[in-house]
Structure formats: C-alpha cells, structure tokens
Structure 1
Amino acid sequence: MSAKRKDPDEQDRKCRGRRRKKQRGDDAEERYVPPPTKRRLGVSFGEEHFREAESYVENGLRKVRPYYFDFETYCKGRWVGKSLLEVFSSEFRSEPLEYYKLAAQAGRLKLNKELVTDLNTVLKDNDFLRNTVHRHEPPVTAQPLRIIAESDEIVAVDKPPSLPVHPCGRFRHNTVIFILGKEHNLKDLHTIHRLDRMTSGVLMFAKTLEVSKKMDELVRGRLVEKQYVCRVTGEFPEEMITCEEPILVVSYKIGVCRVDPKGKPCKTVFERLSYNGKTSVVKCFPYTGRTHQIRVHLQYLGHPIVNDPVYNTEAWGTNRGKRGEINKTNEELLQSLIEEHTAKQSLDILDITEEDLPIAMKKKESEGCEQCPVSSEPVSSESDQLGTKTDKDIEASVNVTCDVLTEGPTQDTDGNVSSGVPEESRHDLIDPLCGECKIVRSDPSPKDLVMYLHALRYKGEDFDFSSELPEWAKDDWVEG
C-alpha cells in the first residue's frame, strides 16, 4: 500500500500556524500565567490606600510627601507577543529604557507577582504587570474642604480651587475623594457632577448607586438649576447676555475646547453683578454641561476669566480667542499652549504629564539650562542622565543607597517579594532611580492656584445647596 501523499497546502497552513505561535510567544519557554482575578469596579479606596502617603500644610499649600506607588495593569491585547522591552519603549515613554533596566534590577518590576529578571520576556494574554514608582504629587491650595450638608443620600461640599475631584494624572492624595475618605470617613461615594480642577464651589456626591442614578437623570434632564460666579476682564455688558455657540473638544487628553460650528450645542446666560473700572463680576447660568462651557463662552464674548490659565493666554492670539478668531489649527493651538505652560513650569494646569510632551520638549526640560527655569540637582556625583548610562553604570546605580533605601528586593517567610523599600521608610525619601527627586522646583504661590470661577448654587426639587461668595467676587475686594 502506497503512503498517503501530503497536501502541500495543508503543510503551508501548518507552517504559517507555527510562525504565528512563535510570534505570539507560544513556542518560548513555558511560563505559567494565572487566570485573571475579578477587580472591583468604580472608585473605592480603603485604609491601605490612605496610608500610602502623608499630607501636610506649608506656606499656604497642601503638600503630599513623596511616596511609593504600584502601577498595575493586565496585559493589553496589542501587547500580546511583544517583549516587555518593546512595550516599555512604545507605551511608557516618560522614562528611557535604561530606567526600566534599573527598575528590574532593583526589584521594582513584577510580572504575575514574580520579579522581572529579563526584559525580553514575551507577554501573554492575562499577564499582570506591576511597576513600583516613586511618586511626587503637585501641591494644591491649603484652603479647607468644607462640608455644606450631609444626609443619608447625599454629601455636598465646598471644593477649594486647584483640587481635583478624583485621582487623575499626578494627583491621588491631593483629591476631593481621598480627603473625604481619609479625613472625614466618607468612603464609596458616587460622583454626581464634576468641577474643573481650578474651579471652586458646590460639589455633590451620592452615597448609593441608586441615588447617583436618580441625580444623574435630574442633571441630564436639566432639572437642576446651576449658578456660578466669576470675575472677568473688562466691562461686561449690563444687560443679560445669552451665548449659544457650539463647543468642540480640541483635545480630551489635555482638556482644551473652542467654539466651532462642528461642536455640540450649548447655552449659557450671563448677568453682570458689578464693575470696578477694570474687571467685572458676572453670574453664570449654564443650561447645558459641556466641558469648560462657561470659560469658553466668556472667552468668545471677549471677557475671559481674569486669571484663567488656559483660555486667557497669548496662545490664543492677540485677541485671546474673541469671537472665535484664533487663526490656528487645533494642533498649532495645543502646541502653543504646551510651550507657554512649559516655560512657566505649569504643565499641571493642563493636567498632562511628561510623557504627553513632544520628545524635544521633554529633553529641553530635563537637561536644565540658564534659559530653562527647571534645574537638575544630582543625587550623587555618579547620577548622570539615565539615557547616557552604560551597562556598568546601570549595575552600579542599583547599589546606590540612601539612609532609608535598601539595596534590593526582599522576601518574607511566606515567599512574598517586596520592592526593597521598607514599610516604615516609604515616605519622604530621595530615591536614586527617581528623576523627579533630582529636579528642584519652586513652589507656586497659593494665589496662582486660584481661578476666579466658583460654583455658587445647585438647586433641585428637593435640595438646595449654596456656598458663600468668594472674597474675589465681593464689592470691596481689591486685587493684591
């Protein structure tokens, strides 16, 4: 009996299948990947999170001592079949690749709770990655977070300016959610509406999901009356002004909008309260809730908020965006805003991090020079730019220690591996791997963290929450 002839097409399919498996890492050394664990949805923080860092007040600012934080993520679909080195180079550009080599040798990187020893490890589906970083939070104003009212269903607070509502970007402990949980024992709150980080005033939270859904329906159905107050440039008209210009989001990442025919419909009514010869106090009634709606409409009317760090800047042109006359593409506008805030060391105003910057800008800021207001201060004489280190330098840097930093990862009696940072020493230290520790930044002035826009009142059928008029909105206020 003759042997069965092999189908060449079938052989070709098998070869292609083996190549695909090899590309996905299936033919690499067998590595066990545990099944994913169910993670709790929503924003919820407990005592272990509150113990991460300590807050303190200094020179009118609320500050957070630098602390260690674990960034955790499951392997994304586009990462499968790629090495850790490839993912770090393409997805995590805020640090050079040499940093991740240092971090691996220092025990800062884990894959499925195991220390990463080889950055050429190919990622698989359900891989769980953890990166321990030394985190620095920007300061915020030290004005207290005041509780206006509390019931079994709702908590209403008077939010200070510069304080984000929930963790985002570089902010975690300096947020309303964390302060309410840590200092007022109000946890598991649900956001009903949001205020821009620089906006102060009435902010509501629901204590249950049911109440949150009910309140959300009221807000979306425009059954909640909202009143804001602001101080704008120039003499605002005495008559009531209605602005219904559509607003387009230029960048969700940075959070910048502009009036544009392609934008979403919105409506704001303005009423002048006073004029002191230079600036006007205006009450605002937003009927819709578009991003930065009040600020963008005021800019369009030619009366931007006096100290608006985004919509009252030279980046918008000589007329500062009046009547929508910007004469720049969206890309050019974003570039101008980033350049302006980079020069002022105020990128946190735009809520962006270093990795959001163009490569050239990051290099210019990290180098430090006489023309650049950011100066670098090495932790030791051997601390050069990470991007210029040799393998020998990297090996030596791992053994650089300070008074409270151990030389490497440790393992307890149960086999759990730590990052080499003792629990009692995880606050207020200089980390030899942390680039932020090498930069000397001057503190902002508390008044630089205040924008003259305030949520004055939120009123519904069965609730009415109001805050006091801010000092800058009173008739006898004199700008310092």
Structure 2
Amino acid sequence: MTFIITMKQHDSYSTFQPPMRDGVTASKIYLPKLEKLPQSLFVFLCEHFSHISANEWKQRFDDQLILDMRGRKLCIEHPYTENTHIYYYRFLNHEIQVPFQEKILYENDHLLVVDKPHFLTISPSGQYIQETLLVRLKKTTNNPDLTPIHRLDRETAGVVLFSKRPQTRGIYQQMFADRHVKKVYHAIAPYDPELSFPCQVALRMEKGEPFYTMKVTEGKINSQTEIHLLEHDQMWAKYLLQPVTGKQHQLRVHLNWLKLPIKNDPFYPTVVHKDPHDFSQPLQLLAQKIEFVDPITLQALCFCSAYELTL
C-alpha cells in the first residue's frame, strides 16, 4: 500500500504548506482507514516505514519534525487519525560533507542553471540530505519550489537545469521528453586504436544487478549515443558523447560495452564499494554543454561547464 499521496481538495486545511526547514521541504503522508487501528501514530510509522528505524522516528518526534494538517507539532503519543495527512521532515544524524561547491551559471523567472561538482547527489536520498545540490540551492535561493528538470549521477559533474516555478515546470520537462535539448558530455576512457570514430552505439538497456546498475540485453533498442574521439595518448583518450536518449547510466554503459570503461567508474565493468569519505578519484564524466530554445522566452540558450577533463 502506498501512503504518500496528493492532498484531497476537500481537506479543510489543504491550503497549509509547511515551511522549508534548512533547505528541506516536508514530505506528506496520508493515513488511510485501517481494519485495526495502530496504538499510536508512532507505531504506524514504524510498522509501515520499516526502512526507517524506530529511533529515527522517535528523534523526529522529539525534534518536532512531524506536523498535522494545521501545522501543529505532534508528540510521540499522538493517536493514529484515519483519513488525514501528516507532514514530516527528513534528517540525518551524521552526514558526510562534500567538499566541493556548485556554481549558478544563469537564472531567469523560470529556470536556474547550475554547474554541479563531482560527488554531489542531485536530490535527497539515502545517506545524503543537506549535502545534495537541491537542498543547497533551496537554502541559497530560499525557493522551496526548486525542482530538478533532469538528472545527473552523483559521480558526474556538469550542467544541470532546475525549475523555479511549478506553473511552468511541465513545459521544460516536455522539452526534454521531446528531445529538443542538445547535450554534450566529455569522458576520459581507455584508448583503443582498433576502434574507429565517430561511431553510433545503439543498445537495449535494462535494470541490472545490483539494482542500481544497468545492463545490456537483447531486444528493441532503447538507448543511443553518438561518440567522437577528441584526443588521446597511448593509454587514455578524451571522448565527446552526444546522447540521443536519456537512460540511466547510458553513457557509462555504452562506453563500457565498447570495452572503454570511463576512468574511475565505480560501477562498470565491476561494482567497487569505495570509501564515501574518499574524494580523490572522481568519475571522469562531465556534462559539458547543454543547448536549447527556451520554450517560454523563445531565446536560444547555451551553457557550458567550467570544469574540464584532461588526459
């Protein structure tokens, strides 16, 4: 059963929006009608969100991070109330600090364009909340509506776009869906004199094992990349990659399929569990440039990363 849903329009307090706290916006949970009522809201949360420890839920109550629909702070003894919503804020007791800083390249009324460093996750997940690009930017801009329009892997640096306004977010998302955005990446990977460039790689990709990886399979093609060779020495080469599609880990998988795994890739060809405190070997993949015609202003825009990959 899914418990996080959209607020019903007839809710008496549907206009209440919890304030952003330290760059984090509140998550919303719907409390459905159940055959047997839990002893308390705390018991329900522990049972139905078992991936979050009871101690963490207790800490959230103690820190007054759980609110009702009116914005009132709830205590750990609060009863379970059917057909209502609650809000909660996520937090981490211990979070690894990412020692690299993002840079805002451009903004207008609708868009924020950012140059993301390596090792910085886009959105809160797992062991990162404060040390994510989205939360950092929300704190910098004081804009709780900020939302990424597309994604870059934690390991990848470069240009990424954020929506500033919910009213126009879908217009920019559709721009990506319709492939009206030209993206250029750079990568450092092994040099193979037996391969000819430019070349097109077109493969079918599906979820792999472990679950956070992708694999190449037989079947209808669903990923395509154009690859150019920019420069090389005897061991390494710098490649220009232009993805036609946008599958997860597409560029990493496509180069690995050519037996040219990207330098310092912790997933391909083999998953290597690195020390999360080790920032010494960033993945050599860069979202170097993005070009598009702004669908609202009709202005032709082009943004380039200040980062550069070298052999």
User: Which category of TM-score, normalised to the shorter sequence, fits these structures?
Assistant: 0.7 to 0.9
Gaps of 5+ in 2: 1-10, 294-299
CA distance in 1, matches of 2:111, 2:61: 48
Query: 1:284-310 CA distances to partner (integer Å, 9 max, x unpaired)?
Result: 010011111111111211111111111
Alignment partner of 1:453 is 2:291? no
Alignment partner of 1:463 is 2:301? yes
1:136 to partner: Cα distance: 2.1
Instruction: Give the structure with the higher percent strand.
Output: 2
1:264 to partner: Cα distance: 5.9
1:277 to partner: Cα distance: 1.8
- For 1:2-151, list aligned pairs within 5 A: 37-38=13-14, 46=20, 48-50=21-23, 73-75=29-31, 81-83=37-39, 85=43, 88-89=46-47, 91-95=49-53, 99=55, 113-117=73-77, 124-126=82-84, 128=86, 135-140=93-98, 142-151=99-108
Aligned residue pair count: 288
TM, length-normalised to structure 1? 0.51
Question: Quick one: structure 1 residues 40 and 345, their matched pair in 2 at CA, closer, same or farther if it must change by over 3 Å?
Answer: farther
* Aligned residue type for 1:453: L
1:192 to partner: Cα distance: 2.3
Question: Quick one: structure 1 residues 39 and 295, their matched pair in 2 at CA, closer, same or farther if it must change by over 3 Å?
Answer: farther
Q: Secondary structure, in 3 states, of the residue corresponding to 2:283? A: coil
Query: 1:396-425 CA distances to partner (integer Å, 9 max, x unpaired)?
Result: xxxxxxxxxxxxxxxxxxxxxxxxxxxxxx
- For 1:70-469, list aligned pairs within 5 A: 73-75=29-31, 81-83=37-39, 85=43, 88-89=46-47, 91-95=49-53, 99=55, 113-117=73-77, 124-126=82-84, 128=86, 135-140=93-98, 142-185=99-142, 188-209=145-166, 211-235=168-192, 237-250=195-208, 254-262=211-219, 265-313=222-270, 315=271, 341=273, 344-346=274-276, 444-448=277-281, 450-461=282-293, 462-469=300-307
Of structures 1 and 2, the one scoring higher in RCO (CA 8 A, sep 6+) is 1
Q: Secondary structure, in 3 states, of the residue corresponding to 1:247? A: strand
Query: 1:76-123 CA distances to partner (integer Å, 9 max, x unpaired)?
Result: 56796445547625632453x6x48976997879795443349xx767
TM-align CA RMSD: 3.8
1:255 to partner: Cα distance: 2.9
Contact 2:186–2:238 (Cα < 8 Å) also in 1: yes
Contact 2:191–2:233 (Cα < 8 Å) also in 1: no
Contact 2:119–2:279 (Cα < 8 Å) also in 1: no
Q: Secondary structure, in 3 states, of the residue corresponding to 2:135? A: helix
CA distance in 1, matches of 2:163, 2:66: 37
Contact 1:233–1:303 (Cα < 8 Å) also in 2: yes
- Which structure has the larger Rg? 1
1:456 to partner: Cα distance: 0.8
1:138 to partner: Cα distance: 2.5
Question: Quick one: structure 1 residues 123 and 129, their matched pair in 2 at CA, closer, same or farther if it must change by over 3 Å?
Answer: farther
Contact 1:110–1:116 (Cα < 8 Å) also in 2: no
TM, length-normalised to structure 2? 0.75
1:155 to partner: Cα distance: 2.3
CA distance in 2, matches of 1:180, 1:109: 21
Query: 1:39-74 CA distances to partner (integer Å, 9 max, x unpaired)?
Result: 779xx974x434x8xxxxxxxxxxxxxxxx987633
Instruction: Give the structure with the higher percent helix.
Output: 1
* Aligned residue type for 1:49: D
Partner of 2:5: none
Query: 1:297-327 CA distances to partner (integer Å, 9 max, x unpaired)?
Result: 11211111111111232x5xxxxxxxxxxxx
Question: Quick one: structure 1 residues 312 and 148, their matched pair in 2 at CA, closer, same or farther if it must change by over 3 Å?
Answer: same
Q: Secondary structure, in 3 states, of the residue corresponding to 2:255? A: helix
Identity of aligned residues (%): 22
Contact 1:245–1:266 (Cα < 8 Å) also in 2: yes
